[in-house]
Amino acid sequence: MLARRIKIRWVLPVLFLFCLCANVAADIVYVGAQSQSFYVRINRTGDTAFDLTEGTALKAGQYTATNATIAATGLPALVSSYRVLIGTAATQTSTDIDVGVGVMIWNGTATVDLASNQPISPQYVNRGRTWRFDSPSQMTATPIITELKPFNGLCRMNWSAPLPDETSVFEVESATITPTAGVEPVLGTPMLSPDKLKVDLPIDASIADPNTYTIEIGIESTDGQHLKRKGTLIIQ
């Protein structure tokens, strides 16, 4: 399940949240200069912090925090950004130098993989065929998309507003269309935009009846929430 975005600050080499497959726990790994002291500070829970431990031999310069180390802090389940800083968790100060930032999903006992098998859309969808929301409470998107037969193309739903802060779309769970009394447009396989904040939906209305249709899309966010929103499509 991916956080909205992962940023890398190139002060020292590179910070990774290694994840292998969905729902599999993974350690935090930071690769930096050898023989240093680094720790992680969680940005959304006060000063909760934990030390990173350097590897040996060929893993020198590779600093890790296991799930057991994180769990020992009593950190509750959350999705949060964090910083890697020079120093130790026990002696942290407000002037410690940060060398990297990232986003983690913590389920209370383990970090959670951010990967999904959802296909990524290679296409650009213009603003006129993009459903948008002004607030998290808006259930039906604007604008109403109108197309002429024989429309066969992509419509997009932008989830930036409905999604919780610091999350993105993990996967699309459903895509349905109503009414279905006549010949309705055919929905293809949903795809995620590269930033994972939008869902692209192929729609083939080449032989569909002219009508006003409601498209409902259901998603799972990277923090495990299940959301549904609607968009209106008019075929003339």
Q: What is the mean pLDDT of residues 13-34?
A: 53
The whole-number pLDDT of residue 129 equals 96
By C-alpha distance, which of 61, 170, 32 is closest to 113?
170
Say how far apart CA 139 and CA 152 lie, in whole Å.
25
Checking if the pLDDT of 6 tops 60, the result is no
Stretch(es) of the chain classified as CATH 2.60.40? 14-106, 127-235
Lowest-confidence region among 11-25, 143-157, 165-179: 11-25
Residues 6+ apart with CB under 8 A from 46: none
Residues 6+ apart with CB under 8 A from 58: none
Q: Are strands 62-65 and 53-54 parallel, antiparallel or unpaired?
A: antiparallel
Cut 0.75: pTM above it: no
> Per CATH, which fold does 14-106 belong to?
Immunoglobulin-like (2.60.40)
Confidence category of residue 116, pLDDT binned at 50, 70, 90: low
Residues 6+ apart with CB under 8 A from 28: 17, 18, 40, 52, 64, 65, 70, 102, 104, 111
pLDDT digits (tens, 9 = 90+) for 180-220: 889 999 999 899 888 889 999 999 999 999 999 999 999 98
What architecture does CATH give domain 127-235? Sandwich (2.60)
The whole-number pLDDT of residue 21 equals 33
